[in-house]
Amino acid sequence: MRGCLGKEEKVQFGLTLRRIVLLGTPLAITVLLLFHPSPYEDVAGELMPIAGWWTALHTIGFVLFALMGVALWLLTAGLPGVFATVSRGAAVVFALFYDAGDAIAGRVARLEDRDFDTHHTIG
């Protein structure tokens, strides 16, 4: 009898965790992106005052976008067929490469900013 209760608790925890990932991840990303700054003209001038928030936002996003790949996987977990298998493979590719692309874009933006600063100094 005790073994059955433990299994039910595990199943319930699994369902709760699944719901958190499936519903909470896209909701958290949506809320986070509402506060995503969009500098256009003076990138360094607009981002430097909020560098701490910019770093926190992208660090949190790094985790959330990986969880979004997990959420995509969970949507098709247990489904048979080629399309479900392709979907799960695409979820893995998304989880790996979205974060890598975001990190590369951040580094490139930083290098461009450094290059701009060295060529446009007043003096």
- Token pair of 11 as six digits: 């199943």
Per-residue pLDDT, 28: 92
- pLDDT per residue over 59-103, tens digit each? 888 888 889 888 888 888 888 999 999 999 998 898 888 878 877
Q: What is the pTM of this model?
A: 0.64
The least confident of 31-40, 43-52, 75-84 is: 43-52
Q: Report how far apart, in Å, the C-alpha atoms of 14 and of each of 11, 19, 20, 76 are.
A: 5, 9, 10, 16
Rounded Cα distance between 123 and 61, Å, is 39
3-class SS of residue 37: coil
Sign (positive or negative) of CA dihedral 75, 79, 84, 88: positive
CA distance 122 to 119: 9
- Enumerate the domain spans of the chain: 2-119
Helix/strand number for the chain, H first, E second: 5, 0
N-terminal to C-terminal alpha carbon distance within the chain: 81
